[in-house]
Amino acid sequence: MSKVCIVFDRLRTEEKMLHKEASELGHDAVLLDAKITQINTDSNREDYDFGDVVLERCVSYFRGLHFTSSLEFLNVPVLNKFEVANICGNKMFMTLLLKKNNIPTPKTYFSFSSDSAAENLEKVGFPLVIKPVIGSWGRGVMPLKDKDTMEAVFEIRDITDSPHDRIYYLQELIKRPPRDIRVITVGDEPIAAMYRKSSGGFKTNVALGAEPEICEITKEMEDLAVKSSKAMGGGILGIDMMEDEDKGLIVHEVNNTVEFKGLAKVAQRNIPKEMIEFAINHVRK
Ligand SMILES: Nc1ncnc2c1ncn2[C@@H]1O[C@H](COP(=O)(O)OP(=O)(O)O)[C@@H](O)[C@H]1O
Ligand SMILES: [Mg+2]
């Protein structure tokens, strides 16, 4: 018997499912709220109930990342590792690493001021998709189709001027059917996939109402998912792909804390069970 700890900040169905599966597999399972946990430089692993392995599942990426750094400080095995979370949580770092590993990904332009981004856009031409480097659920992702929209968006960024507003991540608009593909990998192995069909808009996030539909994992999807997972450093990941009319399958995103409640209803394999088993084997090795 092992002890698994699920760290959360908002208890979603996913965390409850993980807790239930761990108990049903005969392990000791604890749910731990990151928001009420305190740590200091003299803390020891024994002061806490982290067990043998932690699944870090905070909704807030930034909170989860910092929590992970304290777990690694205490030598508690945690999934995903800090390095993996850090890279996947930032679209610029993630995109660069995908490209460096020869994984097909949309052409993306980076600039570090609004003037420079505007200059690049004039050069490349509209449309391009702008994304905040940190964010999820499609928030702040928008197609820039003309100069007026661009100027409006850049102006707001200059007014807000938060650290992230100064990083311009602009991407070619992929011609694709109104859906994308989410593949869940556990230890570099794809275990389930779904199509996410847009409910009408440009974005296909389930959080925005996209319809999930089971997707058979083709050899090509499998290869891309395995390569992407390995490139990020492994763990439990959500690999997002688009079907480009010209270039075929391309990976546009790797997610660090993957949501799976919709997919779990239709997937053949038991997603939370696979995650728990992987976490436990990960520390037994
Ligand atoms: N380059 C692109 N071309 C076409 N559609 C895109 C592009 N980038 C993102 N999208 C759409 O927007 C959605 C959200 O973008 P994504 O990069 O996955 O950000 P998030 O992390 O917020 O989910 C994607 O699921 C996809 O439907
Ligand atoms: Mg996404």
Average pLDDT of the segment spanning 178-194: 97
Residue 29 structure tokens:
């399972």
Q: What is the chain's percent helix, strand, coil content, to nearest 5?
A: 40, 25, 35
The CATH number of the structural domain formed by 108-172 is 3.30.1490.20
- Nearest ligand (C-alpha, residue 169): 1
Nearest residue to 2 via CA among 72, 45, 43, 50: 50
Tell which residue, 210, 144, 171, 183, has the closest CA to residue 269.
183
Residues with CB under 5 A from ligand 2 (ion): 253
Tell me, using a 6 A CB cutoff, whether residue 204 lines ligand 1.
yes
Site to probe by mutation for ligand 1, drawn from 95, 107, 129, 179 as the one with most ligand atoms within 8 Å of Cβ, is 129
> For domain 3-87, which CATH number applies: 1.20.120.450, 3.40.50.20, 3.20.20.410, 3.40.50.300?
3.40.50.20
> What is d(CA 41, CA 182) in angstroms, rounded to the nearest whole number?
39
Of 105, 253, 256, 259, best ligand 1 pocket probe by most atoms within 8 Å of the beta carbon: 253
pLDDT at 285 over 80: no
Measure 138 CA to ligand 1 centroid, in angstroms: 7
pLDDT > 90: what percent of the chain?
94
What CA–CA distance (Å, rounded) separates 152 from 154? 6
Residue 283, pLDDT above cutoff 80: yes
Q: Whose CA is nearest to atom 12 of ligand 1?
A: 203
Give me ligand 1 centre to Cα 247, in Å.
17
Superfamily the domain 175-256 falls into: ATP-grasp fold, B domain (3.30.470.20)
**Residue 144 pLDDT grade (very low, low, confident, very high; cuts 50, 70, 90):** very high
- CB of 137 shorter than 6 A to ligand 1: yes
What pLDDT digit, counting tens, does each position of 29-67 carry? 999 999 999 999 999 999 999 999 999 999 999 999 999
Residue 254's nearest CA partner among 242, 268, 241, 243 is 241
Pairing label, strands 236-244, 78-79 = unpaired
* Ligand 1 binding pocket includes 182 (Cβ within 6 Å): no
Read off the pLDDT of residues 254-274 as tens digits, 9 standing for 90 and up.
999 999 998 998 899 999 999
CA 102–ligand 1 middle distance (angstroms): 20
Boundaries of every domain in the chain: 3-87, 108-172, 175-256
The Cα 98–Cα 104 span in angstroms is 8
| pLDDT (mean) for 199-207 | 88
Are 91 and 253 in contact by the 8 Å Cβ rule? The answer is yes
Rounded to an integer, what is the distance from CA 24 to the centroid of its chain?
27
Report the C-alpha gap between 17 and 66 in whole angstroms.
24
